Structure 1
Amino acid sequence: MVITSRENELVKQYCKISSQKKYREHTGLFCLEGVRLVCDAIKSGVVPEKILITEKCLQKYHDELGNLLKTHDMIMISDAVAQKMASVEHTQGVFALVKMLDKTLDIDTIRKGGQFLCLCQLQDPGNLGTIIRTAEAFGINGMILHQTCDLYSPKVVRSTMGSLFRMPFMVCPDLISFTKELQQNRVKTFATVVNPKANSLVNCDFSGASVLYIGNEGNGLPEQIVAACDFPVTIRMKGNAESLNAAVAAQICMWEMTKEG
């Protein structure tokens, strides 16, 4: 059987989950679209609840999808239905519904050592996704999210390029209390600021257990968060730019945190 109606209940549910944060939270599901994302999810141990795919996609990407999908049921859909479900202009024609990921990071893991990133009030999905992807590339051990944009929005999921499935993370509602708890467990906390009097990033010691905080794209970190951290740090710049894009700043910070020697 092939789903050909754009009004099919499963199709409407997928579209609602894709477009509405509240419905994602209500169902505990989020959406994947595209060959690479679906394959990366399955390779990373994520078990899809549903996989919907067009005949064209199955034929074109048989080598990539064939072995992975042998053990998963697939629901065939028409090209017209795929266009309704798509969140990108040129869809490849494969979609999946998966359960929201376990929040695998906790304070016991952090205090044992490693370099972690805390994202505070980031609102741009592209920035969040890019940072998650870069964090995996640099070997960051986990991420703390406080009042960020929705981790499971299609744009965030897409821009992580699969890193979302492998990066340990936790959602932290009370960052002040959590920061104090980190310090009680001898975890060093670093707040990024635009302040020439702050410690230079390149001179900071990120050995042991360390958490570096990145703030909102326009306003940076709230003053109370900066005050709660052990060390204010800044990226020294020689040009006339006042600040950097949040994702770019995070990438520079992660490089310094994890570089060898």
Structure 2
Amino acid sequence: MISYLANPRRFDIFARYAIPVAGALAAVLIAVGLYLSLIGSPPDYQQGDTIRIMYIHVPAAWLALALYFAMGISSAIFFIWRHNLADVAAASIAPVGMVFAGLCLITGSLWGKPTWGTWWIWDARLTSMLIQFLLFLGYMALRGALEDEKLAARLAAILAMAGLLNLPIVKFSVDWWASLHQGATVFRDGGPSIDPSQLAPLLVMAFGLTALAAWIVMYRMRSVIMDRRARALSQAREARGGAA
């Protein structure tokens, strides 16, 4: 499937149908997820209504890591095999991942104040997630700082690949070091420890935001492909005009 979609023309055909499907799915799931999160689920017995921040914070954290992984792998494919569509994918993912990483940090701070009594601590999990946000930002800044697009793409790909080393640190930081941040409650040995009344809206929001991220990334990728195609046609016309 991946090799089939590696062709820009095939991807364009696929995205033409997948984009509206992903958008509609995101709208429905997020609407249902917000209802379940804000109205359908009960307050936590310890944190009260503050727990509702979790339904945005946790999916945002998951997506920040998943999107960076996708960006890093796409960058590796581009760097090794010079696959231009992989570079388009990495560049399209970067701003989306940065938004989710930023959303994770903001909601985490809002959740941390009533829970820990402070907006921010230099905890291993928080610090490594901040680094993740800065890696997204650095990737975008590096691509925009150089006029040579090919050189910028290759240097940014190196940065993205190096940043993959931070992903296991974010994931396992609460296990490796003493931390105020709670450990895993969903993806853990023995199954989720979270109550089903909270797990259901959390998963619905996670799937909804994932569909939203997919919708944005595919839309951005298709826009870049169409722009490049238009520029190529324009250059071909100018070349024919000059030859005449």
Structure with more relative contact order (C-alpha pairs < 8 Å, separation 6 or more):
2
TM range, smaller chain: under 0.3
TM-score (ref. length: structure 1): 0.22
TM-score (ref. length: structure 2): 0.23
